[in-house]
Amino acid sequence: MRLRIVPVFFGLALMLAAPLATPSHAAIKIIVNDVPITDYDISQRARLITMTQRKSASIAKKQAEEELVDDQVKLAEAERVGIDVSKSEVDNAFNNIARNVKMSPAQLSKALRSGGVQPDTLKERLKAQLAWNQVLRSRFSGRIEVDESDVIAALKKTDEEDRQKSVEYDLKRVIVVVPKNSSGGFKSKRKNESNQIRAAFDGCDESGAILGKYSEVVVQPIGRRLETELPEDMRAEIEKMTPGKLTKPSTTPVGYEMIAVCGKREIASDIAVRTELENELRQKEGESQSRRYLLEIRRRSTIIYR
C-alpha cells in the first residue's frame, strides 16, 4: 500500500494569519490510552486541515478531533508491534512535501507558520501516517488477494481495444560510473557528462561512438519488459519517450544511471490492463482491510472525551 502523505497545499498565499494559541494555556479535551489531546492540538490540526483541504472551520475541527484520536490509536498499535518511526524518517517525509510544492523545508515551515500552524503539527501527522504504513505492511504484506471473478468482471468493463494490446519495451541501462568516495566536484563533472550523453544519444545501435568519448561508462542490457513490469516512476517517463532516447540521469550507489529505450512495440495481450486492474482492486481491498483494522484497535483503546 502506498503511503498518502498529505494533500497538495492549496492557496498558500491565502493562509490565515491569526495568532497561535499558547500551549501552556491548553485544556485537555480527549484522552487516548492515557495520552492527552488538548484544545491547542485540535486547533493546530484544524488549521492544517483548513489550509490543505479547504474545509470550513467547524468541519475541520471535527475532523481534527477524529484524526488526532486515530493518530494516537495508530501510534499505540505501532508501539505494541515493535515499530518506531525515527525523527529522520519524519524529516525526510516533511522534506518530500516541501519538494513537491517547490519549496525548501525552511520555506514550507515559514508558510505553515504564516498560516498559524507550527511545523511540528504536520510532522506529528506524518509520524502517525508513517507508523501506520509500517504496521499495515507488517500485518498484510503478501496477504491481500483479489478474486479472479472480480478481475474478469472489471476486465469486461474496459474498452475492447485496450484489452487486446500491451506495450513492450526493449531497454538498456547506461551507467556513468562515480566511485564511492569521489569529491563533489568530480560528481558534478560526471553529472554534466551524463547530461551530455543524454543530449547526444540518438539510438542504441549508434551509441558506441558517443559513449566512447567518455571514460567508465557501462552499458547493461535489461531486455524486453512489458509496461506493467516497470516501476511506476520509470514507466511514466518512458511512456513519453520515443525509441532511441535516454531517461534523465538518476543517482545510484554506482553513479548516474539512464535507461535507453531501444525499441517499443504493441503486442496482442491483455496483461497490461489486467495487471493494472488487479493492482487497483488490491489497493481497494487493502484500504478496506486498513479501515477494519483501525476500527478493531479503536474498540480496544480507551478513549475519553471531556
Question: pLDDT tens, 92-119?
Answer: 999 999 998 999 999 999 999 999 999 9
Evaluate if residue 13 carries a pLDDT over 50. Answer: no
Question: For 88-127, b where at least 16 C-beta lie within 10 A, e where not — what string?
Answer: eebeebbeebbeeeebeeeebbebbeebbbbbebbebbbb
Evaluate if residue 131 carries a pLDDT over 70. Answer: yes
Residues 55, 112 contacting (CB under 8 angstroms): no
Angle between helix 39-53 and helix 57-80 axes, rounded to 10 deg: 110
Query: Which carries the bigger pLDDT value, residue 242 or residue 288?
Result: 242
pLDDT for the residue 152: 55
Residues 287, 295 contacting (CB under 8 angstroms): no
**Cα–Cα dist 260/242, whole Å:** 10
**Cα–Cα dist 121/119, whole Å:** 5
Q: Which three cell numbers stand for residue 146?
A: 483479489
Residues 17, 114 contacting (CB under 8 angstroms): yes
Question: For 139-175, b where at least 16 C-beta lie within 10 A, e where not — what string?
Answer: eeeeebebeeeebeebeeeeeeeeeeebbbbbbbebb
**Cα–Cα dist 263/271, whole Å:** 19
